[in-house]
Chains A and B, each alone.
Chain A
């Protein structure tokens, strides 16, 4: 069960009380245990990773844009999404922003 993201930690002397985006997780209080079950990447996850690499080599989207796209997810979506679902969200967001993807173009394929 996830603890909701809280922007300040009154019991921690070093917290600067600045608002934190959902990806900014360091030091966030949580009671969630670390699930150490490992699994291989699914084919679509490998594909997503490779898509980002290909976009990078093509000069279309860089890794900082990828991170920025991920960080722009609404907090609840960020927490709910799996790792590569966040990557997909970012790619769609950034490529739409750049006009590489037209509105609705991807949906039309699904």
Chain B
């Protein structure tokens, strides 16, 4: 999992401490979230997205390793 939290946080001119206070967690949690080393709960992901004026999909990117060209389904009219 990768996150774009740092990018959005910079756009909002927030420090890690500011964001942590906004969502009610410790600064360390924001640090590990930005590094993609912590899997947040849905509630926390939602709170972070709300604080950064973004959606969860925009902030959290999951690298789908199982997706191969053959497994993709293409819909044709």
**Are A and B bound to each other?**
no
